[in-house]
């Protein structure tokens, strides 16, 4: 993804490719920011961060392994049922085992 942002003579170009590793349910976001200031000086900044996907069964196991029991599972803060097939928000409530 390439995005441009600007204002007051400053232009920021953001390059943000995503690399997905399906075997580890991990995706890496690698950012490169090109910043041109009002005087025309260009600087480059690089950053990355990783994100993981944890499935509901994995989270249940992690909670149990940490001494917690699942006491509620909802699809919203309004208490709606959890979404089917892992799509949508999932809120889990746990308490001491």
Q: CATH number of the domain at 34, please.
A: 2.20.25.110
CB 25 within 8 A of CB 49: no
Q: Are residues 23 and 36 in the same domain?
A: yes
CB 32 within 8 A of CB 45: yes
Give the structural domain span for 38: 2-52
pTM of the model: 0.49
- The ranges of the chain with pLDDT < 70 are 86
pLDDT of residue 94: 94
DSSP string, 29-87: EEEEEEEE-TTS-EEEEEEEEEEE---HHHHHHHHHHTTEEEEEEESSTT-PPPPGGG-
Under DSSP, the state recorded for 88 is S
Q: Are residues 60 and 37 in the same domain?
A: no
Q: Are residues 69 and 36 in the same domain?
A: no
* Number of domains the chain is built from: 2
Q: Are residues 76 and 90 in the same domain?
A: yes
Q: Are residues 40 and 7 in the same domain?
A: yes
pLDDT of residue 43: 96
pLDDT of residue 36: 93
pLDDT of residue 16: 84
pLDDT of residue 17: 83
pLDDT of residue 80: 92
């Amino acid at each position: 993804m390439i995005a441009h942002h600007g204002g007051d003579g400053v232009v920021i170009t953001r390059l943000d490719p995503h690399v997905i590793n399906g075997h580890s349910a991990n995706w890496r976001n690698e950012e490169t920011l090109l910043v041109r200031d009002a005087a025309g000086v260009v600087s480059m900044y690089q950053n990355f961060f990783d994100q993981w996907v944890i499935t509901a069964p994995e989270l249940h196991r992690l909670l149990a392994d940490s001494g917690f029991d699942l006491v509620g599972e909802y699809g919203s803060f309004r208490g709606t049922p959890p979404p089917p097939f892992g799509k949508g928000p999932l809120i889990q409530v746990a308490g001491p085992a």
